[in-house]
Chains A and B, each alone.
Chain A
Amino acid sequence: MKEKIENWLEKKTFHHSQFWDLLKLIEQKEKKNLKISLCIPTLNEEKTIGKEVVIFKSELMNRYPLLDEIAVIDSGSTDRTLEVAASFGASTYLAEEILPEVGHRRGKGENLWKAIYQLEGDIIVYVDADIANIHPRFVYGLVGPLLYQEDTKYVKAFYDRPLAFSQGLRPSGGGRVTEILVRPLFSMFFPELSAIIQPLSGEYAVRREVLENITFPIGYGVETSHILDVYRRWGMDAFAQTDLDQRIHRNQSTTALGKMSFGILQSFLTRMQDFGMIREMVEIQKVYRHFEAKEREYILMEKEIREEERPPMATVPGYRKKYNLPERA
C-alpha cells in the first residue's frame, strides 16, 4: 500500500507554481475546446466576496481569459453578499431560484449541486468565499492538472501549515476534522484515499462528466462522499491534488467542528452500507447532542443534522433538457 500511495503522490500531487504560465494553460484550454466556470457558494460573505470576485475577474477573465464565467450561488444571505458580488461583475444566483421544480434545501451542498445546472463549464471550479488571502492560484492551481492530464477528473486543494496566525484568522493545515476523523476512517477502510492530504478542503475543480453523475449531500458530508464516490467509480487515478500554499480563513469553534463531524460520519456510514462494507447497521440518529456550561450548570444542546442527498444531476429531467441529453428509458 505504501508504494501505491507513494506512486500516486509522485504522479498526482502538484504545487500551484507548476501552473504559473497562464498563457500555456489558456492555450491548452483552447486546444481542448473546454469551458471553465468558477462557482463561489455563499451565505453572508459580504466582507470577503468583493475581493474574491475582483481578483478572479481581473486576473482570470480580463487579463488571462482562463475562466468563462464567475458565478456566486447564494443560500439566502441576509447581508449584501450578492449586491457586492454583482457590483464587481459576478453573475449572482439564489440557489432556490435554480431548478425550482426540484425544490430547495438549505446547505452548501445544495448550492454546489445546483451550480452544475446553472453554470455552463466543462470544468467547474469551486472556491469558498471566506478566503482572506485570495489569489488567482486558488483557481489555476486546481485547473492545471485537468488541462494537462486526461485521466484526472477531480482535483483537490491542500495547504501549508504556517507557524503563526493572529486576529481571529487561522491558517489551515490538514484541518482538525480531517486529522481526527476523516484520516483515521480512510486509513481503516479506504487506505489509498489517505494520500489525499486535505480531503475536506472547500476548493476543488471537477469535470462535468463526474459532477453530473455523483450524488450531493447538501450539508457537511459533500466533500467526503464525493471522494468516496469518485474513488469507487473512477479509481484513484481520477484524483489529483495541488498545494496552494497558505489559506487564511475564519476559525471555527470546536462545537461547529463537532456538528461537521456528525454530518460527515452520516455520509460515510451511508456510503459503507451502499458499498456493502457494512451488512447490518442500526438506524443512525440524526440529533447531535453537546453541552454548554454556564457556571456549574450544564445545558444539553440538541441540533438535528440530517445529511439529505441530492441525486446525480444527470437524472434530473430539467438538466437533461438543458444539456440536450437523451431521455432516459
Chain B
Amino acid sequence: MATLNPILEKIPLFQEELARNKEILLANLVMAGEIPAETFREARKKEFMLDRFRECGLDKISTDEVENAYAILPGRSSRNILVSSHMDTLFPASVDHTVQVDRDVVTGAGVADNSLGVAVVTSLPTLLQAMGLQFDSNLILMGASRSLGRGNIEGIRFFLDNYDEPIEAGIFVEGVELGRLSYNSLGMLRGEVRFRSEGQPLADDWVRTGMIEPLANLIVKLQTIPLPHRPRTNIILGSCNAGKSFNMPATEARLRFEVTSEEIGMVSSLHQRIDEIIQEVASESGLDVDFEIIARRRPGGIGFSHPLTWATRKVMDHLDLSPIIQPSMGELSALIDKKIPGLTLGISRRATRAESEESVYIEPMFAGIAQLIAVISAIDEGICHERED
C-alpha cells in the first residue's frame, strides 16, 4: 500500500482548494437542483450535465436511449475509472424546486438525493483543473438515469451492458451521508401484489370486505415465513393501499414489499415461497392476482478488506470520518454483477429532511469531495490490483 501515503498527505490541500472554489460546486448544485428530474423524466437534467461537460471541453460527450449523460475526462493511459451519480430524485415536478443557499446550508427539493451527487460529478473537471490534478486513467463521468423505484437502475445497467472498454473501478456519488461506505450489495427483490375485482362480480363473501380481506390474509401468511437472523434476511412490507371511502368495499388492494438478504440464493428461495403464498390466497379467494417484480438485485461485492475498501477507510480515517458501512441496493449492484470493483460514497451531511425539501451542510462537502478525489487517485495509482490483506 505504498502508494497511499502521498495521496493522504495531499488531502488537507484538496480541502483548502475545494473551499476556495466552493462557488463552482454550489452554482452547479443550485442549477441541477432547480431542474425537476423524477425517474423517467431526467431529460432536462441530462442536458444540463451535457452542457456543462461541453463547457469544460471534455471528450466523447454523449447520451443514449435511456437518457444517461456521459463524458470522458481524458487521462494519459487507456485505463478507465467510472464516476457516476444518479440524476433522478423522488420529487415530482409539481413541487417547488427553488434552491436556497444560506451561509451554512443549501435547501431545496432533492438537493441531498441526489442533486449534490450530480453537482459533484458535473463540477469535477473544473475542480480538478483548478487544483492542477490530472490522472493517468480516463475518468468516465456519468449522470445515470432511471435509478430509483421502478427505474430499477436501468441507466447504469444499460451503460455497463453496452460499454466495450474495461473499467478499472467505479465510484457512485450520493449527496449524503458523508462517511457512507458501501462496498457490497444485498440480494434484493421488490414486488407488488394487486387484488382486483374489476370485471368480475363480487362473491357474497367479498361484498362487505372487498379486496381488503384477501390482502390481509396475504399479509398474515407472509409474516409466517421463517427468516434467519444470520445471514441477515428481511421482508419489509413497505406500502399497502386499498379502498377509497368508509362504506364502499374496496375494488382493488395493493401491497408493495421488499425482500433483502446477505445470503446468495436466499432471495430467490423467498421469492418462490412468496409466490406460492400468493397463489394460495388467490386460489382460496377465487380472485385474479397480479404479482409484479419491480426490482431485483443479486448479493455480492468486494469485501471489507479489498484494497479499494481498505484505501477508502484509510482516506476516511485521515479525514476523521467514521465509516458508515451499509450495503447498497442502488447502482453499485449493477457494477458488482459485472465483477467490477466499486464503492458508493456520500458527500455531505443532511441538515433537515422535510416532505417537500431537503437541506445539506456546505462545510462537510469539502471533506466529501476531497475523499472522492483521494479514492480516485488511489484507483489511478493501481490500488485495485494490490493484494488483499
Contacts and interface: CB of A to CB of B under 8 A. Distances in A.
B100 A50 contact: yes
Nearest to A54: B26
Contacts of A63: 24, 55, 126
B96 A88 contact: no
A156 interface: no
B23 A50 contact: no
B285 interface: no
A282 B29 CA distance: 56
Q: Identify which of B96, B101, B102 gathers the most chain A CB atoms within 10 Å of its CB.
A: B101
A149 interface: no
Nearest to A248: B98
A87 B100 contact: no
Contact of B26 (A46, A47, A58, A80): A58
B100 A166 contact: no
B258 interface: no
Nearest to A89: B23
A248 B28 CA distance: 20
Contacts of A89: 23
B76 interface: no
A89 B103 CA distance: 11
Contacts of A132: 98
Contacts of B102: 46-47, 50, 84
Nearest to B99: A51
Contacts of B98: 132-133, 169, 248
Given A63-B126, A166-B96, A58 B23 contact: yes
Nearest to A86: B103
A55 interface: yes
A62 interface: yes
Interface residues of B, number: 19
B168 interface: no
A57 interface: yes
A210 B322 CA distance: 59
A27 interface: no
Given A63-B55, A63-B126, A133-B34, A51 B101 contact: yes
Contacts of B126: 63
B361 to A, nearest CB: 13
A51 B22 CA distance: 12
B103 A55 contact: no
Contacts of B101: 50-51, 54, 84, 88
Given A51-B30, A133-B34, A133-B98, A62 B23 contact: yes
Contacts of B26: 54, 58, 88
A59 interface: yes
From DSSP, what is the main secondary structure of chain A's interface residues? helix
Contacts of A252: none
Given A63-B24, A84-B102, A55 B96 contact: no
Interface in B264-306: none
Contacts of A57: 23, 27
Contacts of B100: 47-48, 50-51
A326 to B, nearest CB: 40
B366 to A, nearest CB: 14
Contacts of B197: none
A55 B30 contact: yes
A88 B30 contact: no
Given A63-B55, A166-B96, A167-B96, A58 B27 contact: yes
Contacts of A53: 23
A243 B55 CA distance: 24
Interface string B13-30: 000000001111011101
Given A63-B126, A132-B98, A133-B34, A84 B24 contact: no
A54 B34 contact: no
Nearest to A60: B27
Nearest to B362: A87
A62 B24 contact: yes
Contact of A80 (B24, B99, B103): B103
Contacts of A87: 103
Contacts of B99: 51
A47 B24 CA distance: 20
A83 interface: yes
B371 to A, nearest CB: 22
A169 B98 CA distance: 10
Q: Identify which of B23, B34, B99 gathers the most chain A CB atoms within 10 Å of its CB.
A: B23
A37 B200 CA distance: 73
B89 to A, nearest CB: 18
A63 B54 CA distance: 13
Interface in A88-145: 88-89, 132-133
Contacts of B23: 53-54, 57-58, 62, 88-89
Contacts of A46: 102
Contacts of B96: 166-167, 169
A84 B260 CA distance: 45
A284 B55 CA distance: 56
Nearest to B126: A63
Contacts of A133: 34, 98
Given A63-B55, A63-B126, A132-B98, A58 B24 contact: yes
B34 to A, nearest CB: 7
Interface of A: 46-48, 50-51, 53-55, 57-59, 62-63, 80, 83-84, 87-89, 132-133, 166-167, 169, 248
- The 10 A-B pairs at the shortest CB distance, nearest first, are namely A58-B27, A50-B101, A58-B23, A51-B101, A57-B23, A54-B26, A87-B103, A84-B103, A132-B98, A54-B23
21 contacts: A47-B102, A50-B102, A50-B103, A53-B23, A54-B23, A54-B26, A54-B30, A55-B27, A58-B24, A58-B27, A59-B27, A62-B23, A62-B24, A84-B101, A84-B102, A88-B26, A88-B101, A132-B98, A133-B34, A167-B96, A248-B98
Given A51-B100, A132-B98, A166-B96, 4 more contacts: A51-B30, A63-B24, A89-B23, A133-B98
